[in-house]
Chain A
Amino acid sequence: MADMTHIERAMAGLENKPADRLMTYPIACGVNRKLIGNGITYREWAHNPKMYAQAFIEGQKKFDFDFAIGLMDLSVMAGDLGAHVRMDEQNTPFVDEPIINSIEDYEKLEVPDVKKGRSAVLIEGTKLYCDVLKSQVITAGFVEGPLLALTQSAGAERVFMDMFTNPSAVHRALAVMTDYDVEMTKGFGQTGCAGLCWDYLWGNYSCLGDAEYDEFEGCSKYALKLNALTLKEGMAVAIHNCADLPHLDTQIKKFNPSIYSMAYYPLIPGSLTASEVIAGGYADKTLVAGQIDPQLFIRGTTEKITQVTKDLCQEVKTALCKRGLNNSPKYIIASGCEVPPDIHTKMENIAAVVDTTKKYGKFDT
């Protein structure tokens, strides 16, 4: 089959049609700031929409990804709600001073103005890179789901305990987070991005069972409402969940996203390999993305990550074939979570994943 464009390939995957090769998108976001001039700091990148967008544009130029999905980090919403975010060059930013320290604090949450702070950088920056890249690749914005935004604002342990001891307070806070997400979704709806990727991290059997996940995120008040709004705003629903034991039946079969991004944990019993995910039918209607260990981009040699990618391509092609999805690019070769934005991340390893997929992901090899 002749080489397809990125968009033709993605559409073939979404429509269960044959394509020339598997697709690839190592989730390289913050790390692309190294490609702007001589490199800029994370803080500069995360506070300036032009710089934020430029990193994705430079990343696309250098690596030729099949998608552009604009993840910043998981502390954007908590930060704009008032939590203190520690941000430096070696670490992924994180909240080091939460805003919810008592039950009463849950009541004090108010939706911030999404035209200010890093929420605005995220939305404006997404528009800027979509303007440039949407004719080349499928583009998507990225936003934290309500339960993730709440745990980032309060600390996960507190929220999990309060779910049981003070559920009404948690629900009131989740209602505010959902309203915040509604505003974010409407903002992303104006950017021209084709999809919106939700981070629903806590759909994880290590933390919550089906009933608890349904009550505190999966139900019509929260995730289902936001997924429907995403579609209404003209964007496809994508989901990222790098948990060790994700709620696949809920998040893929019930939420029905166009793309689902996940990780693999070899030492966790029950963590599914790419071939098990495909065999389980999860890639039948959704493009599933995964599952290269993000730490390989820092710690692995280029030879090692090349071999891992090559093996993953072969595993995926075989599994797709067994599932009757021959030659359809239903599985995206990607990192299981964001390529670490650490300044030590090896850019050549990102290139190795893309180049290896282009070569060994071809359906006629």
Chain B
Amino acid sequence: MKVSQIAGFLGSGKTTAVMKIVDELMKKGHRIAIVVNDVGEINVDAKFIESHGLKAKEIAGGCICCQIAGTFSETLAKLHDSYNPEIVIVEPSGVAIPWGLKRAAEYSEAKADMVIEHAPVITLVDATRIDLLVKAVKRLVETQIREADVCFVNKVDTASPAEIARTEAMIREMNPKAEIAHMSSETGLGIEYACELIVNRISPRYDEAVEEELLKKQYGG
């Protein structure tokens, strides 16, 4: 089962993008489930998801390390057993840590007969609000950009060229390794490319081997 995280801060256009991506993937014949955490919009999402014959579950906010791990892995295991999706699109909270969700996703392997793969971690950055985001929630935005494989500069249809350039420069500064692409959830620009990434590319697993090495180094044994 492949897990695709589409991150971004509140108002970054995540929900619209997720729904368009899901529509597109379903048109291509993929079996999709969605896990959302945008608590303010869960009801809307749930209705949408229901109407599309998808399966929705929620994941928790709150404590970053343990609560999400248990809840999310349980959610994925249940999704696998009840619906067996090919791809699970995850719309995490703006305060979730992408590697934490990767690790939690892999925990679900112990709870169901499956192997987890990760699609590239996608982070949406709202070019029209970049100045506000940097002022208001810089640290959270930084965390999401730092851990992204691909950053989509979103809302490029309404952002000015200067805003787009500033957003790209900020992404490059925070995560020089991330690929940068453009999206407009409203017009559909970039949706096809996001789908291609999700289907055809892989992001590394949360590497327990690396963690083991670090722990060994720390403990000297």
Taking beta carbons and an 8 Å cutoff, which residues of A are in contact with B?
A: 74-75, 86, 90-92, 94-98, 101, 151-152, 155-158, 160-161, 163-165, 201, 204-209, 242-244, 263, 265-267, 273, 275, 294-295, 298-299, 308, 311-312, 314-315, 336-338, 340, 342
Pairs A–B under 8 Å by Cβ, sample size 16: A74-B67, A92-B62, A92-B66, A96-B42, A97-B39, A157-B9, A157-B94, A161-B11, A207-B95, A209-B139, A244-B97, A266-B210, A311-B215, A311-B219, A312-B219, A340-B70
Q: Of B39, B66, B218, which is within 8 A of A337 by CB?
A: B66
**Secondary structure type dominating chain A contacts:** loop
- A205 and B139 form a contact (CB under 8 A): yes
Contact with A along B24-55 (1 / 0, CB 8 A): 00000000000000111010000000000000
**What is the CB-to-nearest-CB distance from B214 to chain A, in angstroms, rounded to a whole number?**
4
Identify which of B62, B94, B221 gathers the most chain A CB atoms within 10 Å of its CB.
Answer: B62
**What is the CB-to-nearest-CB distance from B14 to chain A, in angstroms, rounded to a whole number?**
10
Cα separation A160 to B137 with both chains bound (whole Å): 7
Q: Of A86, A91, A97, A267, which is within 8 A of B70 by CB?
A: A91
- A242 and B65 form a contact (CB under 8 A): yes
Given the complex, which residues of B lie within 8 Å of A75, measured CB to CB? 62
Does chain A have a CB within 8 A of B113? no
- B136 and A163 form a contact (CB under 8 A): yes
- B71 and A94 form a contact (CB under 8 A): yes
Given the complex, which residues of A lie within 8 Å of B215, measured CB to CB? 266, 308, 311
**Secondary structure type dominating chain B contacts:** helix
- B143 and A206 form a contact (CB under 8 A): yes
Q: Of A155, A164, A208, which is within 8 A of B61 by CB?
A: A155
- A266 and B74 form a contact (CB under 8 A): no
**What is the CB-to-nearest-CB distance from A146 to chain B, in angstroms, rounded to a whole number?**
15
Total A-B residue contacts, Cβ distance less than 8 Å: 141
In order of increasing CB-CB distance, the 7 nearest A-B pairs are A164-B136, A94-B60, A311-B219, A157-B10, A157-B94, A92-B67, A294-B66
Given the complex, which residues of B lie within 8 Å of A74, measured CB to CB? 62-63, 67
Given the complex, which residues of B lie within 8 Å of A156, measured CB to CB? 61, 93-95
- A164 and B10 form a contact (CB under 8 A): no
Q: Of A95, A164, A265, A314, which is within 8 A of B62 by CB?
A: A95
Given the complex, which residues of A lie within 8 Å of B67, measured CB to CB? 74, 91-92, 94
- A160 and B71 form a contact (CB under 8 A): no
- B61 and A94 form a contact (CB under 8 A): yes
Does chain A have a CB within 8 A of B110? yes
**What is the CB-to-nearest-CB distance from B109 to chain A, in angstroms, rounded to a whole number?**
10
Return the chain A residue nearest B219 by Cβ.
Answer: A311
Return the chain A residue nearest B99 by Cβ.
Answer: A267
Given the complex, which residues of B lie within 8 Å of A97, measured CB to CB? 39, 42
Does chain A have a CB within 8 A of B127? no
Contact with A along B118-155 (1 / 0, CB 8 A): 00000000000000100111011001000000000000
- B58 and A160 form a contact (CB under 8 A): no
**What is the CB-to-nearest-CB distance from B142 to chain A, in angstroms, rounded to a whole number?**
8
Given the complex, which residues of B lie within 8 Å of A98, measured CB to CB? 39-40
**What is the CB-to-nearest-CB distance from B131 to chain A, in angstroms, rounded to a whole number?**
11
**What is the CB-to-nearest-CB distance from A205 to chain B, in angstroms, rounded to a whole number?**
7
Cα separation A27 to B10 with both chains bound (whole Å): 33
Cα separation A194 to B183 with both chains bound (whole Å): 56
